[in-house]
Structure 1
Amino acid sequence: MASAPRAAWKGFLRIGSVTCGVKIIGVVSEAEKIRFSILNRKTGNKVRSVYVDEETNDEVPTEEQVKGYEADKGDFIEIEPEQIKALKLTSDHTLDVDEFVPIKEIDSRYLEKPYYMIPADRAAAESFAVLRDAMAKTGMAARSCVVMYQHGHEVVIQPYGKGMLLTWLRNNNTMVAEKSVFDGIPTGKQDKDLMEIAGLLIDKKLTKFDPSHFEDKYEEALAEMIDAKRKGKKVPTKAPAAPKQNVVNLFETLKKSLKEEGIDAPDKKAKGKSKAA
């Protein structure tokens, strides 16, 4: 097997009595991300962060620092490192699969952080391939829990090409209910003419999902600005104006959008004026 990037976790995938060694590798890399240092504006030297006692203003050395939970205002419960380590899950090297779910039923809101999963070695390759292909054939994903960075993470594992994809899941108690956010948004049957024009606009812009075109415009702008400053060139200091957001007549606005795309809009009038903020 070809060598792969450094593994973020190594252990075993266990389904029933079938066990195979696996390792997971981060899908996302931040190696190219621009990172800033904090400097002293007067000297140009780097500065470092220190922890200071809020009452005495004295610097607190690392060996004197301890985690604390504020139970009441100003009342902290100290938590020692040994106490946190004692809570570490025992299954930190095994992905036990106790249930499967249809891949099509996975709610994308809960998908948090993806990792590639591959066999740990040649001996594990056959078992890995059988499990992968069985899940692909049945359209199922495995549910498990992985211990990484001293925390347990609920995960979903599904076939992905020659390997598998393991994705951290967000906890249900951290999710905001859509009802509390979507309340007040219009529902029901929309104006037929508006829907027809909007559909034409969508058809004109129809394309395939191609991640190769995804780019971080902000990161690119940062790189260009840094390069300009390095070369002594002028850099932009004013942000572009924000577009107007108020739509006075939705029907006419949609017709204008079609015209800009080179499409003749249907010669119809929508019922009434549509306004949006």
Structure 2
Amino acid sequence: MKILAFSVVLFSFLASTSAEAAGVVVCNYCFSPKDAAINSGTGYTLVLDYDSQKLYAYEVEYDRELKRYRAVTNQVPESINQSFLRGMSISGPSAITERNMKSRDFMVATDSGSVNIILRPGDPNYSNPIQFPDAFRNSNAYEVVNSASVRGLLGQALARELAGATTGNPTWDSLAFQLQSIILSIGGSTIGVGSYRFLIIWQNGTRTVYTIDPSTITEARYVNGESRDDVGNLLPDANIANPDTAGGYAGEYRFSSGGSFGSWQGSAGIYGVPVSNGSSSSTGMACGWDGANLTCKAK
């Protein structure tokens, strides 16, 4: 009963955000999903039976001859259905079976309330739990930390893939985001699992971290201070220019090549931290923090 009351309030907010669709209705142990859809208003509607782990799709329209509303059954788009099953397998009731879910092996719920998803773009020997955005398949962590545009576009693309908002239909895609928000909100309020954490291991070995929760449902959020190079060195991002976190960059660094050092040096320069004495053959560096300034010198 507690979950149902929460869901009705959440639906009322979400339904108002889409003019082309009635929205997402939560109807637990639903006796008549079709009636639940009709009561939501006209347009495309998803009916979520969270407790029974079922999802229904309808198009609600007004029949002028019969002078009443009717709900026409639609097939739930496959990308949205996979997103639903993924959410249920992590934060829903426990009866979702292995055969109903693709690539669950690399999704692990943690004590922090997040589900860890490891993504390896471009690795033919690895089955990613979600489709990795093709436009970024050949990117790397340096490109992400160096460009606000890349960070934002990648975050949006990850959010679309996670929610299944890749149908090509703006209405279904909007409903996909609404459904994702509801599932994460319920999961967070009931069992404490209400977010996803993406660890992207790029082809060059560098690493990037993003998160998604109900407040960032349409654009995954880049996590400052979590990016690493191919040997585990902390990469420069906004944290290196923040007095509260810049001290975390102090220490000794060893790089796998002069090119890797050069990439680190270039990223640090973008955030206003110069590296002195560097050359194309440098593979070592030391950074010091005096409480106000970070200084780095190649070795």
TM-score range, shorter chain: under 0.3
Q: Which has the higher contact order (CA 8 A, sep 6+)?
A: 1
Looking at CA atoms only, which structure, 1 or 2, has the larger radius of gyration? 1
More helix by share: 2
Q: TM-score scaled by structure 1?
A: 0.24
Q: TM-score scaled by structure 2?
A: 0.23
